[in-house]
Amino acid sequence: MADQKRDPQPHWPLGERLRVAREQAGLSQRQAAEAAGFSVTAWGQLETGLRSVGGGQTVPANPRPATIVAAARIVGVEPSEALNLAGYDPRQHRTLLQRPSAGGRPTVSQRGLAELISQLTERQRQAVLAVVEAMLEPEEADEGTGAQPAPAHHDVVERKISPDLTESQVYEEKVKRSKPGTQRRPRR
Q: Where are the domains of the chain?
A: 13-104, 121-178
The closest of 177, 149, 181, 150 to 161, measured between CA atoms, is: 177
pLDDT tens profile 83-120 = 999 999 998 888 777 755 544 555 556 666 777 788 88
CATH topology of domain 13-104: 434 Repressor (Amino-terminal Domain) (1.10.260)
pLDDT tens profile 40-87 = 999 999 999 998 888 889 899 889 998 999 999 999 999 999 999 999
Please report how many Cα atoms fall inside a 13 Å half-sphere around the Cα of residue 133, on the Cβ side: 18
On the question of pLDDT at 167 being above 50, the answer is: yes
Distance of CA 127 to the CA centre of its chain: 22
What pLDDT does 7 receive? 47
Pairing of strands 50-54, 57-60: antiparallel
Q: Helix %, strand %, coil % for the chain, to 5?
A: 55, 5, 40
- Phi and psi at 121, nearest 5°, equal -75, 170
